[in-house]
Amino acid sequence: QLRVVAASPPRVRTQSLHGPSPVTTFGPKACMLKNPKAVMHIQDPASQRLTWNKPPKSVLIIKKIRDTSLLQPFKELCIFLTQQKNMIVYVERKVIEDPAIANESFVSIKKNICTFREDYDDISNCVDFIICLGGDGTLLYASSLFQESVPPVMAFHLGSLGFLTPFNFDTFQSQVTQVIEGNAAIILRSRLEVKVVKEYRENGSVEEMTILFSVNNISFCQVLNEVVVDRGPSSYLSNVDLFLDGHLITTVQGDGVIVSTPTGSTAYAVAAGATMIHPNVPAIMITPICPHSLSFRPIVVPAGVELKIMLSRDARNTAWVSLDGRKRQEIAYGDSITITTSCFPVPSICFRDPVNDWFESLAQCLHWNVRKKQSHLSSEEEEF
């Protein structure tokens, strides 16, 4: 029997500029293999290895909905996990109710699968690790399901871009077996903890509310890529004040502003002109969207700061906020968005290691620094 999500008590913000030390336990059984030589809270990326306190027994499969090309991989994976590995498999109910699956020979598989409903059932203590089938969106969705400790995530590249999905499905059996045996590198992808405070205009009272979840009035939500505040449908410039640790640092006048994690620096932020940050770097990136200023460049701030975004008093229109591209909501004068680095990262399983995987994604997905090579000079040309 799955239980309903319980409210989380407010957490005291760290005063360290380096941000909170991330938790190193992921789900009920996984944890970071301790490095006795490490002297800092943030380990060398090459030393981040997965280990298990107890052998994993359950897995959550995230599958892209209504994608017929994923039916066969999904079926093969379910059979492998249930019949060969004796794992308990969790799948979202709407995946099983997909008409494409109903028409396939999934009858024997369905009886071995546990289902859950988003925003209703809590599986945080039931899942040992996660397997994503699809594109980068499946990893973002997996992150949204776990508002505190996240089980390790193994993402297979079966979508379009695949920047965050390093595994090919061709050899899934050996790769999944290595993860079950605890033989894998991981990268801790930091998330942003976001709180929205909305002001009621009828009686002047203030209500804290969640954007992603509204179960038991939870007021904190976790974001893996970015928080985007924009002008929405209005033709006017957005006009929002940006505070850092309680001090007004600037007013954003333009189409909006992106506050992103290092993981999100290669998403919307890079399209808006930001630099790309390796996920192991403890930082928060602030990127304006089409600012009406020639000097407003993207900036990187320490992971430990607290950012607050509010509509400026001189704003001609409201603003809109979205988190990882989901659950857009209007922000009016008096409302505020508070953003800090979360202590609950997403432990993403690497194909090789955190450094090589990242540069491989830059080259393969974004074609970073791809150009024709300059030819060398011949001995005759060198004389001139």
Q: Catalytic site residues?
A: 136
Find the length of the chain: 384
373 burial type by CB count under 10 A (0-12 exposed, 13-18 middle, 19+ buried): exposed
CA distance 376 to 268: 38
* C-alpha torsion angle, residues 191, 326, 30, 158 (rounded to 10): -120
Token pair in block for residue 72: 């066969």
C-alpha 25 chain-centroid distance: 17
End-to-end CA distance of the chain: 81
User: How many other CB atoms are there within 10 angstroms of residue 112's CB atom?
Assistant: 14
Give CA separation, 95 vs 169, 183, 261, in Å: 19, 30, 29
